[in-house]
Amino acid sequence: MKVTEHIHALKIPFSLQVGPEKTLSRFVYAYLIYGEKIYLIDSGVSGSHRAIFDYVEETGRSPGDIDTLLFTHSHPDHIGGALAIKKETGCNTAAHKDAAAWIEDIDRQYRERPILNFYSLVEGSVAIERELRDGDSLDLGQGLTLKVFHTPGHSKGSVSFVLEPDMALFSGDAIPMAGGVPIYDEVLPSIASIRKLQKVKGLKVLMASWDEPHLGDSIYPLMEEGLNYFQNIHSIVLKESADFPASDVTTLGARVLSSLGLPETALIPIVIRSLEAHLKVAGHTDLLQV
């Protein structure tokens, strides 16, 4: 899908295993920036290279035009297709230093953040050739500039990008979707990251990994909704944790998901990890005032 003169969005479906015979249907977006060369933001899951290459060819370009693959962060649905893309295009790779370890060593990521079907989502490890830092400004040629914002919380190495002159924000998973499954490592850094992005003036397009691209006046309200969702989850965690010991995180998690209107099948380790992040800051009632 063409979003702006320079940006194309590709929706990639996949399944997240949540039990021996249970899966959740998920999707993730990969984004292509077209200039003299092509810059790819995130690579989807294993096998996604086929859809990406097909789309590039359908739009009159060649997969060999892909110059650089930039990662918003290191989770499986963002790095899974990277190895095949790297092998077939010889493209450069770029990520924040705090994301590089899990991209360059997927076995380490699995040990530290296990997911049942991890190895079906990620084809293999990929070396990171360029370190992205907060405040970096990447010259893409033809008047295009990509600015880097370190936006931790969802993960330590999460970054967001703003493409100028399109004023398009690629937020990765930094801004949660209200009503979505909570998946993040830390709450207060997540809130601080959204507030950092709110300070970027003149945004015209929002391209998150979890939702279709948004254009126009909805961008800043969506950020505010994300902040309020963090607070809503926090309030529910505080309420439910008053009735259960901190060690009983499974029961707590089930009750929190029920209060959020989410299915019990969503209660997987990475979601429990997110709810535990709220327990770590339980001394604060209103996170938006911290």
- Tell me the mean pLDDT in the region 118-132: 98
Report yes or no: 202 and 246 within 8 Å, Cβ to Cβ. Answer: no
Q: Which residue has the higher pLDDT, 79 or 23?
A: 79
Residue 244 pLDDT grade (very low, low, confident, very high; cuts 50, 70, 90): confident
Amino acid, res. 268: I
- Sequence-ordered list of residues with C-beta below 8 angstroms from that of 240, at least 6 positions apart, any chain: 252, 255, 256, 259
Angstrom distance (rounded) from CA 191 to CA 223: 10
Percent of the chain with pLDDT over 90: 92
For the chain, which domains are there? 7-229 (3.60.15.10)
- Tell me the mean pLDDT in the region 99-114: 97
Amino acid 171: pLDDT: 98
pLDDT in tens, 1-49: 999 999 999 999 999 998 888 888 999 999 999 999 999 999 999 999 9
- Tell me the mean pLDDT in the region 96-122: 97
Amino acid 36: pLDDT: 93
Q: Which residue has the higher pLDDT, 247 or 243?
A: 243
Amino acid, res. 210: W
Q: Dig out the tokens for 176 from the structure.
A: 């949660």
Amino acid 246: pLDDT: 67
- Least confident among 45-59, 118-132, 257-271: 257-271
